């Protein structure tokens, strides 16, 4: 298993555990993502799994919808992406992405795999779960977070209705690294419903 596939698997396990821990009455809770409920956070992650398949002319395998069964919808989408990562030829294939040509596995690593870390925090906040992000993840992702180009904060830069990152939320320089990381990604680390 490649390092990227192992990282994806670890992040997916953590995200799946958060989805599984959401109680039925919490699915309509607001999340730190403006205009998204807890269910819609999971829907976004499932949709982004489908986006990873599109450059290969594929789509998600038919499965229950996020409205019907959020956990099963995620597990099925995850299986589709893990199938790409487990095939060395497919994983290495170069595809066109909004940020240029990348291998399939690089695209997955930079988009949906990383998304699960941030949106795992969103889901945890929405459902009142432990929202601690693995400090190793935060430390590893911190350098790139400090270099987010302005176009990534511009609504619609990658298509109608697409917002990649919101405006930076100012956080004190002496705040914990997770808080500073979240602020750079457009999250208020003290957000509550």
| pLDDT tens, per residue, the chain with 193 residues | 899 999 999 999 999 999 999 999 999 999 999 889 999 999 999 999 999 999 999 999 999 999 999 999 999 999 999 999 999 999 999 999 888 899 999 999 999 999 999 999 999 999 999 999 999 999 999 999 998 877 777 766 666 666 677 888 999 999 999 999 999 999 999 999 8
Q: Are residues 25 and 36 in the same domain?
A: yes
Q: Are residues 12 and 98 in the same domain?
A: yes
For the question of whether the overall pTM of this predicted structure is more than 0.85, the answer is yes
Residue from 100, 107, 8 nearest 56 by CA: 107
The CA radius of gyration of the chain, in Å to the nearest whole number, is: 16
The CATH number assigned to the domain holding 94 equals 1.20.120.450
30 class by beta-carbon count within 10 Å (0-12 exposed, 13-18 middle, 19+ buried): middle
The overall average pLDDT reported for the chain is 93
Q: Which domain holds residue 118?
A: 3-131
User: Into how many domains does the chain fold?
Assistant: 2
DSSP code for 29: S
């Amino acid at each position: 298993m490649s390092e990227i596939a192992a990282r994806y698997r670890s992040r997916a396990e953590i995200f799946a555990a958060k989805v599984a821990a959401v109680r039925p009455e919490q699915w309509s809770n607001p999340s730190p993502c403006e205009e998204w409920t807890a269910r819609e956070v999971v829907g976004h992650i499932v949709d982004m799994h489908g986006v990873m398949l599109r450059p290969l002319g594929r789509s998600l395998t038919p499965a229950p919808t996020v409205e019907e069964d959020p956990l099963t919808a995620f597990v099925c989408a995850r299986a589709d992406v893990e199938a790409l990562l487990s095939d060395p030829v497919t994983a290495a294939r170069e595809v066109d992405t909004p940020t240029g040509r990348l291998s399939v596995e690089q695209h997955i690593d930079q988009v949906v795999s990383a998304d699960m870390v941030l949106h795992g925090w969103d889901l945890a906040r929405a459902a009142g779960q432990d929202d601690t992000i693995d400090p190793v993840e935060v430390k590893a992702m911190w350098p790139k977070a400090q270099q987010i180009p302005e176009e990534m904060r511009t609504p619609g830069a990658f298509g109608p209705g697409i917002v990649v990152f919101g405006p930076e939320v100012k956080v004190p320089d002496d705040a914990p690294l997770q808080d500073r990381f979240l602020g750079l990604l457009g999250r208020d680390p003290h957000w509550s419903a």
